[in-house]
Structure 1
Amino acid sequence: MPPGRGAQLATVEVLVKKDFEYDGRLCTLRRTSSVIAETGVRRIDLLKIDLQRAELDVLRGIDPVRWPLIRQVAMGVHGEAGLPMAGRVDTVRALLSGQGFDVQVTEPKMLAGNGRFMVQAVRPGYSDDPRPVVAAHGNAEPLDAAAITGLAERLPAGSVPDVEIMSNLD
Structure 2
Amino acid sequence: MVLISAAWMKSADQNPGACGRMLSALVLFAALTVGLPSAILGSKFSNVSLRHALHPGMNPEVFLSESIPEYGAWQVMNEKLEPGAGILTHENRHYYLRDDLKLIHLDDYRLVPLYGEAPQAVLKKLRELGVRYYLRIGNEKNHPILAQLGVEKFLHSNSTLLYKQGPTELYRFKE
More helix by share: 2
State TM-score, norm by structure 1.
Answer: 0.29
Q: Which has the higher contact order (CA 8 A, sep 6+)?
A: 2
State TM-score, norm by structure 2.
Answer: 0.29
